[in-house]
Amino acid sequence: MRIVIGQGSCGIAAGAEKVRKALLSAGVDEAAVSIAGCIGMCWLEPIVDIYDDENKLTRLVRVSENDAEAVASFVKSGDRTLVEKLIVTDEDSEFLTKQTRIALRNCGIINPEQLEAYTAAGGYTALKKCLTELTPEQVIEIIKTSGLAGRGGAGFPTWFKWNAARQSAGEEKYLICNADEGDPGAFMDRAVIESDPHNLIEGMLIGAYAIGAKHAVVYVRAEYPLAIKRLKKAIAQATEKGIIGENIFGTEFSCDFTIKAGAGAFVCGEETALIESLEGHRGMPRLKPPFPAQSGFWRKPSNINNVETFANVAWIINNGGEAFAAMGTEGSKGTKVFAVTGKVKRSGLVEIPMGKTLRDVIFDIGGGMKTDKPFKAVQMGGPSGGCIPADLIDTVIDYKALGATGAIMGSGGMVVMDESTCMVGMAKFFLDFTAKESCGKCIHCRIGTKRMLEMLERITKGEGKEGDIELLEELCYSIKDGALCGLGQTAPNPVLTTIKYFRDEYEAHIKEKKCPAGECSDLIEYRIIADKCRGCTLCARNCPVNAISGTVKNPHVIDTDKCIKCGKCYQSCKFGAIVKE
């Protein structure tokens, strides 16, 4: 039997490496054990995939060190009853079977640290085809036919950017990958690099060939140490085999690779700010035009795409642009990867064809709410996106339809919320992020986001005033109109969409000094109902500040002056005696 242990960041954090060591200690042959990246089923980690001699898969989930003996016995005997409680359910398996995987096709399946594993899966055949059978113009034409748009958020046609860089004068050109994934809750690019680094390299080499670049650069955030480690190893392997370097596959095409570990500034998601950072300057956007295709890295013609965009390229070359264009909608072709997080049962990586609905992802693939509270909203596009309410759950996932709601596709973050989420608080959370991440170059963004954040902080503390909503809207549009780059232009989106769809919550905070979701600590109070209190003392024992007093078997009382409103008493009470008002 062959054993594959998922060791993306999520798997390792859940204990996958400890499981691997425990299996070896239990007598499993080390030669039979290998690793893979993230399969996307993050809520089930650690995951151990076992293939028998006929390559039939048995997937074990939530495996712990204590399960090592049982797993080792199963490997030796083939008796599935030994691991029955660990075998993934048919219901959870639907998470993958209902997806269409292109960018993620190898993730969680092949060993990301072995070049041979990638080539066995058809790796580098697309690159060889491009270099030996196709001209750069023909490569660009295939990408044009595919309809591939940039997956970093803007959705700009990939072929157009490649063609613009190709046509720019100059011998020295640069192909840059933006792997500075900054959205809270987003981890698509990290997972691709950790799980399938050679796929990124192949896509970038094809792009470099298409635009005429001899230098490829990956700008990745330093907070991704595993991704950087595996990418460095993949680059070394490809260089050793002659896939990177001089005269690749015996052709006249040469290209080298460099990795730049960035400090993790959200503004560096904007391509000219990223270029400034690459050059050793503070990450601040440049005025455009000129665009990077004419004057980019070191003022040379440059092309920038994100990880997911490049992850589609080899598949498109091998399968044809028409095959990719056959998926999706008229204006949004192919598939899109989402990082689904929040109050959903099955959180993880999802890749679906454009044209599916939010309901398909959240309820059909994601399994719906993991709490007993109803679905309330989903934040799309991270801090630059917007909140889409429950009554728009059947919105089609494409650039135009999502844009019509006031949200954006973004890089693929999808944060699911239930009725316990305060939408004013959610807007404040994202605005706090963008205000801190503003580079400060524009007055509108630097000062405007700060003033908006101050207003939201007042409102969530019960200090809101009449006219605050209207002033917030006015500030939003002023910032959108006056900001230089995409950060400032989109920073107001979470505020605008929450006001648009949840205005009643803003009004309740301002007029009634109440938080309908019961989440804003300054606007809630915990109280014990004497008739329901059994005097079990559980709430008092869980209170971190000793704000609850009383004797055993007698009603207890909360000292509101001491109470820090952490909610631990409310969560621990088994008799419904504590209410949140």
Tens-place pLDDT, residues 346-378: 999 999 999 999 999 999 999 999 988 999 999
Residues 483 and 310: their CA atoms lie apart, in Å, by 29
Rg (CA), the chain: 26
Provide the pLDDT for residue 410. Answer: 85
Name the CATH code of domain 423-512 (choices 1.20.1440.230, 2.60.120.10, 1.10.1200.10, 3.40.50.720).
1.20.1440.230
pLDDT in tens, 330-350: 999 999 999 999 999 999 999
What is the number of other CB atoms lying within 10 angstroms of the CB of residue 412? 28
**What residue ranges of the chain are covered by domains with CATH 3.10.20.600?**
335-418
Res 54: pLDDT: 87
Residue-wise pLDDT for 243-298, tens only, equals: 999 999 999 999 999 999 998 788 998 999 999 999 999 999 999 999 999 999 99
Q: How high is the pLDDT of residue 411?
A: 84
Opening angle at CA 157, ends 307 and 404, nearest 5: 95
pLDDT recorded at residue 207: 98
What residue ranges of the chain are covered by domains with CATH 3.40.50.11540? 115-325
Q: Which position has the higher pLDDT, 518 or 510?
A: 510
Taking residues 224-230, report their average pLDDT.
97
Q: pLDDT digits over 68-86, tens only?
A: 999 999 999 999 999 999 9
First-last CA distance in the chain: 58
Give me the half-sphere count of Cα atoms (radius 13 Å) on the Cβ side of residue 380.
29
What is the structure's pLDDT at 339?
95
Q: For position 264, what pLDDT does the model report?
A: 75
CATH fold of the domain at 2-96: Glutaredoxin (3.40.30)
Residue limits of CATH 1.20.1440.230 in the chain: 423-512
* 249 within 8 A of 255, measured Cβ to Cβ: no
**Residue 185: which pLDDT band, with cuts at 50, 70 and 90?**
confident
Q: What is the pTM of this model?
A: 0.93
Q: Which CATH architecture describes the domain 525-580? A: 2-Layer Sandwich (3.30)
CA 400 to centroid of chain Cα atoms: 21
Spatial CA neighbour of 134 closest among 126, 124, 123: 126
Q: Distances in Å between the alpha carbon of 24 and those of 47, 59, 65, 69?
A: 16, 18, 11, 10
- Entry field: residues in the chain: 581
**Where in the sequence of the chain do the CATH 3.30.70.20 domains occur?**
525-580
Contact predicate 210/293, CB 8 Å = no
Alpha-carbon distance values, 222 to 66, 339, 493 (Å):
34, 20, 28
Please tell me the predicted confidence (pLDDT) of residue 269: 87
Q: Say yes or no to pLDDT of 315 above 80.
A: yes
Beta strands 386-389 and 413-418: pairing type? unpaired
Share of the chain above pLDDT 90, in %: 92
Q: How confident is the model at residue 173 (pLDDT cuts 50, 70, 90)?
A: very high
Tokens standing for residue 202: 């192949």
C-beta of residue 178 within 8 angstroms of C-beta of residue 304: yes
Distance CA 226, CA 10 (A): 11
Sheet holding 302-306, edge to edge: 256-262, 215-221, 174-179, 302-306
pLDDT of residue 242: 96
Return the structure tokens found at 280: 């050793």
Per-residue pLDDT band for 228 (boundaries 50, 70, 90) equals very high
Q: What percentage of residues in the chain have a pLDDT greater than 70?
A: 100
> Over 80: is that where the pLDDT of 154 sits?
no
CATH superfamily, domain at 115-325 = NADH-ubiquinone oxidoreductase 51kDa subunit (3.40.50.11540)
Strand partners, 388: 378
pLDDT in the model for residue 53? 86
DSSP secondary structure, 94-143, as one string: HHHHT---STTTTTTTS-TT-HHHHHHTTTTHHHHHHHHH--HHHHHHHH
Q: Which residues pair with 174 in a beta bridge?
A: 215, 302
Tokens found for residue 279:
């050059």
Alpha-carbon distance 127 to 207, whole Å? Answer: 10
Query: Is the model's pLDDT at 313 over the cut of 80?
Result: yes
User: Higher-confidence residue: 159 or 412?
Assistant: 159
Distance CA 403, CA 149 (A): 15
Mean pLDDT (the chain, rounded) = 95
Burial label for 579, CB within 10 Å (0-12, 13-18, 19+), is: middle
The domain 335-418 is placed in CATH, from the list 1.10.10.10, 3.40.50.720, 3.10.20.600, 1.20.120.160, at 3.10.20.600
- In the chain, CATH 3.40.30.10 covers 2-96
